[in-house]
Structure 1
Amino acid sequence: MRIIIDENKCCGAGQCVLIAPRVFDQRDDGIVILLDEAPPKELHAAVREAACVCPGAAIALEERP
């Protein structure tokens, strides 16, 4: 899995940080910071959930075999 962030779409809701804090953080202005572009397998479910609930659709996932 590879994570792609579109900062222009991020509205700063912070749901991604609450769901997957080892993968996402926020700048002082609320915009998402990606901590791990290719997280370990045990975090994939949380990352998928974060992408699904992102109100700005700022998180895209590239699944890798």
Structure 2
Amino acid sequence: MWVTADRESCISGGRCMAATSEVFDQDDEGLVVVLTPRPAPDQEERARKAAFLCPARAIQIDAGPPAG
């Protein structure tokens, strides 16, 4: 699993961080920061929940590494 976030889409809701602070944080402006792009197996379910809960849909979950 690979986790990425579109910081330009982020609206600083903080739900991602609340779902799994091991994978997500917020910077000084309140925008999402991905701490762990490849979550451990025991963190994957919470990372998926964070993506689901994001009101801006700024979090992407992919099977492989991001392109580019």
Note whether the superposition's TM-score is higher than 0.5.
yes
Over aligned residues, Cα RMSD in angstroms? 0.8
Alignment identity in percent? 33
Spell out, residue by residue over 1:2-58, the C-alpha distance to the aligned partner (whole angstroms, 9 max, x if none): 011101110000000001000000011100011000010000000000000100100
Gapped runs of 5+ residues in structure 1?
none
Partner of residue 36, structure 2: 36
TM-score normalized with structure 2 length = 0.90
How many residue pairs get aligned? The number is 64
Q: Which structure 2 residues correspond to residues 5-24 of structure 1 after superposition, within 5 A? A: 5-24=5-24
- Runs (4+) of structure 1 moved beyond 3 Å? none
- Give the Å deviation of 1:63: 2.2
TM-score normalized with structure 1 length = 0.94
